[in-house]
C-alpha cells in the first residue's frame, strides 16, 4: 500500500470513527486499514491513533499529522489523478428510495459499472432514512429537505406531490375545484392500517400557507406501483411524486388536478462524504451520476409543468 492510500484510509477512519467503516468505504479489508495506520505510525516514529472499544481518537501528534494528510489529499484532488494507468476499483454502497432508485438511479449505476469493470456496487433501495455511517453507505439519494450534516450535498433538482386520476374517472365523476371536495370522490391511499389519510396542500396560488385535508380512501396498500395501477384503471385519485407519473402524464393516461394547491417542491440531493481521490468509486460515481440525474429530473419537471390550456 502506498503512502497516499494509507493517508486516505487514515483520514476516513478518523471521519468514520472506525477502521472497519473506513475499510468499507474503500472496498478494503479491516486488516488493510490496520496496516495503513501502522505504516503511517512507523514513518512518523510515534503513535498517531488510539483505538478502544469506544472508537478512535487522534493523539496530539496524530492531530498534526492528520492536518497534513488532509492538506496533501486536497492538493492532489485539485491537481487530479496523475498516476499512469490508475484503474478505478473497490466497492460502492449506495442507497435511494425504492421506486426512485429503480426508475432513475439503477440505470445510472449500471452505466457507471459498465465503464468501470473493477468496481462492485451494492444498492440499498429502501423507503426509510438509512444511517450512512452506521450502515456503511457511501452515497445516498435523498428526496427531502435536508438537515445540516457533515456530508457533502449536491442538489440534483426537485419533485412535487401531485394529485392524479385517469381521464375516464374524471369524465364520469368530474374534477374537484379545491382540496376539501376530495371527500366526495374515491381516493387511493398508501395506509393499509386505515381508510383515512391526511393530504397536505397549500391554500392557493396566492397563499402558500399549508392546509391539511382528511381524505377517505376506498383502497389503500403499501405499493405505489399497485396504487398507480388502480388509478390507471379508473379507481380514483392518487397522490404521488411527480417522477412516479411523468410517463403517464406525458401520454395522457393520467391527468393532474388541483395544481394550484400543491405544496412546495421537494428537493432531491445526492449525499456523500468529501472524497478527494478522483479515481475512487465514490468520487467516480458522483461525477458520473450528477449530470445524468439532473437531466432526468429536468425532463420530469418539463413533463409535469406542461398542461393543456383547459387543465391549468
Give tens-digit pLDDT for 254-273.
Answer: 999 999 899 889 999 999 87
Contact of 165 with 231, CB cutoff 8 Å: yes
Q: Are residues 73 and 10 in the same domain?
A: yes
Asked if 139 and 280 touch (Cβ cutoff 8 Å), the reply is: no
Query: What's the DSSP call for residue 195?
Result: S
Single out the residue of 174, 173, 179, 148 nearest to residue 161, CA to CA: 179
Write the CATH number for 48: 1.10.10.10
Is residue 85 assigned to a domain?
no
Q: What is the CATH number of the domain that holds 128?
A: 3.40.190.10
Asked if 219 contacts 244 with a C-beta cutoff of 8 angstroms, the reply is no
Looking at the fold, whether 173 and 236 belong to one and the same domain comes out as: yes
Identify whether the C-beta of residue 92 lies closer than 8 Å to the C-beta of residue 137: no
The pLDDT tens digits for 139-160 are 999 998 887 666 788 899 999 9
Same domain, 153 and 273: yes
Do residues 35 and 45 both lie within one domain? yes
Same domain, 255 and 179: yes
Task: Please count the structural domains in the chain.
Answer: 3
- CB–CB of 139/285 below 8 Å? yes
Is 310 a domain residue? no
Q: Do the beta carbons of residue 189 and residue 219 sit within 8 Å? A: yes
120 and 179: one domain?
no
Based on the domain organization, do 187 and 40 belong to the same domain? no
Digit-by-digit pLDDT tens for the chain (312 residues) are 578 778 888 887 887 777 887 777 766 777 878 888 888 888 888 898 887 766 778 888 888 888 888 877 766 665 555 444 567 888 899 999 999 999 999 999 999 999 999 999 999 999 888 888 788 888 999 998 887 666 788 899 999 999 999 999 999 999 999 999 998 899 998 876 766 778 889 876 666 677 888 888 888 888 888 999 999 999 999 999 999 999 999 999 999 999 989 988 999 999 987 654 656 788 889 889 999 999 999 988 887 776 553 343
Domain assignment present for residue 197? The answer is yes
pTM (2 d.p.)? 0.69
Residue 42 lies in a domain: yes
In a domain, 311, yes or no: no
222 and 184 within one domain: yes
Choose among 271, 288, 274: nearest CA to 74: 274
Identify the domain containing residue 33 by its residue range: 3-79
| CATH number of the CATH domain containing 243 | 3.40.190.290
Amino acid at each position: 500500500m502506498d503512502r497516499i492510500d494509507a493517508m486516505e484510509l487514515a483520514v476516513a477512519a478518523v471521519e468514520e470513527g472506525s477502521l472497519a467503516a473506513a475499510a468499507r468505504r474503500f472496498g478494503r479489508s479491516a486488516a488493510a486499514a490496520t496496516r495503513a495506520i501502522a505504516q503511517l505510525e512507523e514513518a512518523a516514529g510515534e503513535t498517531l491513533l488510539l483505538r478502544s472499544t469506544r472508537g478512535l481518537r487522534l493523539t496530539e501528534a496524530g492531530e498534526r499529522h492528520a492536518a497534513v494528510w488532509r492538506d496533501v489529499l486536497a492538493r492532489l484532488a485539485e491537481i487530479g489523478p496523475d498516476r499512469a494507468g490508475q484503474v478505478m476499483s473497490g466497492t460502492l454502497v449506495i442507497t435511494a428510495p425504492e421506486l426512485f432508485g429503480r426508475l432513475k438511479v439503477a440505470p445510472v449505476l449500471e452505466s457507471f459499472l459498465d465503464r468501470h469493470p473493477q468496481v462492485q456496487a451494492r444498492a440499498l433501495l429502501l423507503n426509510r432514512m438509512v444511517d450512512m455511517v452506521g450502515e456503511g453507505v457511501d452515497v445516498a439519494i435523498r428526496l427531502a429537505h435536508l438537515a445540516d450534516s457533515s456530508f457533502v450535498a449536491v442538489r440534483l433538482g426537485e419533485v412535487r406531490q401531485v394529485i392524479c386520476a385517469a381521464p375516464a374517472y374524471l369524465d364520469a365523476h368530474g374534477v374537484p375545484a379545491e382540496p376539501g371536495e376530495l371527500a366526495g370522490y374515491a381516493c387511493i391511499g398508501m395506509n393499509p392500517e386505515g381508510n383515512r389519510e391526511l393530504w397536505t396542500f397549500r391554500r392557493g396560488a396566492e397563499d402558500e400557507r399549508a392546509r391539511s385535508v382528511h381524505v377517505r380512501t376506498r383502497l389503500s396498500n403499501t405499493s405505489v406501483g399497485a396504487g398507480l395501477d388502480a388509478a390507471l384503471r379508473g379507481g380514483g385519485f392518487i397522490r404521488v411524486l411527480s417522477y412516479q407519473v411523468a410517463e403517464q402524464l406525458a401520454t395522457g393516461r393520467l391527468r393532474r388536478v388541483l395544481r394550484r394547491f400543491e405544496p412546495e417542491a421537494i428537493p432531491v440531493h445526492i449525499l456523500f462524504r468529501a472524497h478527494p481521490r478522483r479515481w475512487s468509486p465514490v468520487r467516480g460515481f458522483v461525477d458520473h451520476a450528477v449530470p445524468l440525474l439532473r437531466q432526468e429530473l429536468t425532463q420530469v419537471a418539463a413533463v409535469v409543468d406542461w398542461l393543456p390550456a383547459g387543465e391549468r
